[in-house]
Amino acid sequence: NEEKKRLSQSIWMEITEDRRLYIEGVFLSTDGKQSAAMKNFKRALELAPMEDRYLSAVSVALASQGKMDESIATLEEGLKELPDSVSLKASLGQRYISTKDFGRVEAIASELEKSSLPYAAYNALMIRACSAEQQGKYKDAINLFNQADAKADGSNPLTGLGQQRCQDMMKRKK
């Protein structure tokens, strides 16, 4: 289990074949080439089945193709092998937000909140904030986004974005 944890949390000091495939997949996805990106992500996952970011990438690609059940199943299977993966839990929370299964979102957030792993508390707040935003609870979402931003270490490119979206939505509702 320690080996699984080490692999899933490794910092990339070198570009291996699986990492190259993943990075190329990200670029392909950004270019709108989802099926090519999916091939890269799945091949990377075959080469390194314990890499949670590859599982998340496959899940996102499936969700973008409208295959939400398969996307969720991919994350749930990954969590059987990597039950402590903050990344997979956060991704699963995001999928449940997409399906408006807010009870499951809260259960995942509560589980993350109890974890002492890095970024768990931040991710718990982020999925709660996104859930509140999806439910139209913009003031609650802004508060949660503020708390998440305070937990983020260093420069976070997401800082302030959720709050701005919520403020824009509140202006539109007036």
Whole-Å CA distances, 30 to 33, 34, 57, 139: 7, 8, 12, 32
What confidence score (pLDDT) does residue 67 get?
94
What sign results for the dihedral spanned by CA atoms 44, 46, 47, 48? positive
Query: So what's the pLDDT on residue 22?
Result: 95
pLDDT in the model for residue 42: 94
Classify 112 as helix, strand or coil: helix
Rounded to two decimals, the pTM is: 0.84
CB 148 within 8 A of CB 129: yes
pLDDT value, residue 13: 76
Instruction: Dump pLDDT digits (tens) for 104-119.
Output: 999 999 999 999 998 9
The structure tokens 């809260």 sit at: 106
pLDDT of residue 96: 98
Of 164, 88, 92, 152, nearest to 125 by C-alpha is 152
Q: Which residue has the tokens 């490119």?
A: 157
User: What is the pLDDT, as a whole number, of residue 12?
Assistant: 64
Low-confidence ranges of the chain (pLDDT < 50): 1-9
CA 58 to chain centre: 11
* Among 115, 94, 114, 116, CA closest to 105: 94
Per-residue model confidence (pLDDT) at position 7: 44
pLDDT value at residue 159: 84
Percent of the chain residues past pLDDT 70, beyond the cut:
91
